[in-house]
Copies of this chain bind each other. A is one copy, B any other.
């Protein structure tokens, strides 16, 4: 019934939180643990609430809503999306463990966020966050860095959608996924997408049918083998690197 459950409210951080404070895989994304010192993380967890989203497709916040919180993904996958006038959905990014989200402009969320699969999310009240930030100008610079990083990523997606055809877009998407240790077992070559065809389609600016076709094409080229709709074995990882542009 209750689709979101508050696991912990932590003015005095519990031991489980301190035990696993956003440790992340080494990759190029801007993670909260890259941006903050251990002491700063401690301070942040002190004002955090832990939310447990049990089911996929649950809204975390919607574009245009008053922004009162900043979020960080811990477990599961979150999608950031925007809708056009016709109601068509464009997924702007997927977020995993350690990624922070909830960007606002003029006090309102710019985009929508909801769960792709069951997820655990940390929530930070913006007001208390601002009080923390005021004292430390360094933290503000970190947020600027994060915004610049996201900007760069968004511009990369513009390049992808403007220049590449669907199979090429899928190759780049799979390449990005293999950078996440959580979902890609490099030695076995097994990639656990955890994302449905419709979500992939809305991210790549195409249809689920065409995503399926693109998967088949890559399978015929012996680049991967589909084990299930959400599980593939990457047979030739180097084939995913060829297009790796900026």
Contacts and interface: CB of A to CB of B under 8 A. Distances in A.
Interface stretch (A69-77, A148-156, A176-184, A222-230): A148-156
Contacts of A92: 155, 158
Given A82-B246, A161-B161, A148 B105 contact: yes
A155, A161, A202 — which one has the most chain B CB atoms within 10 A of its CB?
A155
A200 to B, nearest CB: 12
A192 interface: no
A205 interface: yes
Interface string A190-218: 00000000000010110000000000000
Nearest to A86: B163
A89 to B, nearest CB: 8
Interface stretch (A1-9, A119-127, A136-144): A136-144
A82 B156 CA distance: 8
A245 B89 CA distance: 12
Copies of this chain present = 2
A155 B105 contact: no
Interface residues of A, number: 42
Interface string A150-172: 11101111110111100000000
A155 B245 contact: no
27 contacts: A63-B246, A82-B156, A82-B159, A82-B246, A84-B163, A84-B164, A90-B158, A90-B159, A90-B163, A103-B148, A105-B145, A105-B148, A105-B149, A105-B152, A110-B148, A110-B151, A137-B137, A137-B140, A140-B144, A144-B144, A150-B151, A151-B154, A154-B155, A154-B158, A162-B202, A162-B205, A163-B205
Given A82-B155, A137-B140, 19 more contacts: A63-B246, A82-B156, A84-B164, A84-B245, A85-B244, A90-B158, A90-B162, A90-B163, A105-B152, A137-B137, A143-B144, A144-B147, A147-B151, A150-B151, A151-B151, A154-B157, A158-B161, A162-B204, A162-B205
